[in-house]
Amino acid sequence: MASLAFYLSATVLFAQSSSAFNCSIPPIYVDIHKRAVHDSNVFQYGSFIGVGTPAQNHSLWPSLTHNQTSFGARTFCDGNSTLRECETSTGGFFESQLSTTYAYTLSTSYTLPFAYTQISFDQNKEYQTLDTERNSTFTKSYFGEDTLHLYTHYFETDGASQTLLNNYTVQVVEEGSTKPAVVGVGSSSTVLSSLVAQNRICGKTYSVYIGQGFDRAGGRVNGSNVFGGYDAGRFVNPVHKYNMSTASTSPMVVRVKDIIISETNNANANVSLFDTSAFPSMSARPGSFDAQITTHQYPLSLPYEITQNFISHLGAEEDNFWGDNSLKLKNSFNGSLTIVLEDGFQVTIPPSVLMNASNITPIQSRSKDSTAPFYLSTAFLTQVYLMADYEKSSFYLATAVQKNNMVMPTTFCPGSTPSAYQRPNQGVFLKQGLIGAVIGGIIGSIGIAVCAYCFILSCRRKVSEKRIERRIAESRKAAKMAQFEIEETMEFDPPPKSATPFFWRKT
């Protein structure tokens, strides 16, 4: 009886937890690509989000560690910030004095029945940020309430729709060392909390594909955010589940057990950077290590020994062309790098990412005495689709679909496991396009048969017409011959025998 009560109570609890979320609410899709931003003469890559009334357009960078949504002040680049190429890297500037609305009131004037009062950006000096010192690189900023615009823009050639968050607290950054235009999607994300509070999404769930359309990645594939859901067409099964970490700056932490370098044209040339036989300088095989997933740097940061093995195997050297201490290869290399996680999930960085046109790699140099965390960074996320469930403190990784021709936003109900869109199961015959050739052949044969049939009918019709014409001609000829037949000779009465005048003659 006790066991029955236990199962009944468990069922009730499960039903209560499920009913707490309205999973019929569709998610909010926000694309990531280059666009014109406010007060900048260059297109900048980021999430299509704006702020203010009227809206000032921006490109915000997704942050898994920040919780606030921030914008760069117009004074951000005036000598106080160390951001590289500051004027063209801020994601656009925000000018709070341009953000105004109008409240209409009755006027005492007889000529103007209505008057309006201007309401500017409402600064909140008492607001306490949700970002601690460990997950923020902004040294000076202020907060205020305004209208946040989340734009849904599936295709660049189509118009955008928007979701508004009124009275939303934004951070205006005046000084810092990193890009100030950031949409915070950390564990205490204010944008996720506000969307849930306004019943715009089913729960604090979020998904991102960072894409490769920014300068450092050098690609053309765009990315996307999905608030309260995921894009089912952007990844493939299987999906791997992990628990979030509360002890790290980033809540997304995975354990790496191996890293393998492969040559494209030599299947037998796979080399593990953990292998002591390939790297005799190591006395023992390195143990697996924890790495945080971050969007705040492009190159991966790996343990010192692993980094040294990469340098020695591929002939790499230090380089700081991009200002991120990425390693550069002395010679070209046509190969890939595969990261193997503890649960068996493998992420392969292809040749085009492992070495760009300038031989620069997505691996960061590291000093022997460094105590900085190990990072699986944006280069890692160019190949991975990430889905976060903050309600259940879990996240999911799956292999990303690079070129996605379908946008399929799907509600991510807290506690559920995301599933990729299952494309129709096509056999080899269909996949190779032979069915099209067969159908084309059948249609072509039918067309030829129809043409032949019509040709035969036409010939028979012409033969019949000629036969009819011949009969008509013969009948006409017979009629004419009938007209020329010699008539019977008429009989004349002979002249009278008694007298024959001289003038009468038979004609």
Kindly report the three-state secondary structure assignment for every residue of 404-420.
Answer: CCCCCEEECCCCCCCCC
What is the share, in percent, of the chain residues with pLDDT greater than 70? 77
Other beta carbons within 10 Å of 276 = 13
From the number of C-beta atoms within 10 Å of its C-beta (0-12, 13-18, 19+), residue 233 rates as middle
Residue tagged 């898994």 (tokens): 64
pLDDT score recorded for residue 93? 95
Q: Tell me the residue ranges of DSSP E strands in 16-81.
A: 28-36, 43-51, 56-63, 70-73
pLDDT score recorded for residue 6? 45
Question: If DSSP codes are grouped into helix, strand and coil, which group holds residue 428?
Answer: helix
The model's pLDDT over 417-437, given as tens digits with 9 standing for 90+, comes to: 999 998 777 565 555 555 555
- As given in the structure block, the two tokens for residue 464 are 């019949």
pTM exceeds cut of 0.85: no
- As given in the structure block, the two tokens for residue 346 are 């493998």
20 pLDDT above the threshold of 90: no
pLDDT score recorded for residue 491? 47
d(CA 170, CA 167): 9
User: Closest Cα partner for 233 from 407, 64, 399?
Assistant: 407
- Order of strands, sheet of 316-318, starting from the edge strand that comes earlier in the sequence: 316-318, 326-329, 360-364
Other beta carbons within 10 Å of 480 = 9
Give mean pLDDT, residues 346-361.
95
Average pLDDT score, the chain = 84
Other beta carbons within 10 Å of 75 = 16
481 pLDDT above the threshold of 80: no
**54 preceded by a cis bond (ω within 30 of 0):** yes
d(CA 136, CA 182): 11
Per-residue confidence band for 113, with pLDDT thresholds at 50, 70 and 90 = low
Dihedral over Cα of 183, 185, 188, 189: its sign: positive
232 pLDDT above the threshold of 80: yes
67 pLDDT above the threshold of 70: yes
Residues paired with residue 170 on neighbouring β-strands, in sequence order: 144
Give mean pLDDT, residues 83-109.
79
pLDDT score recorded for residue 490? 46
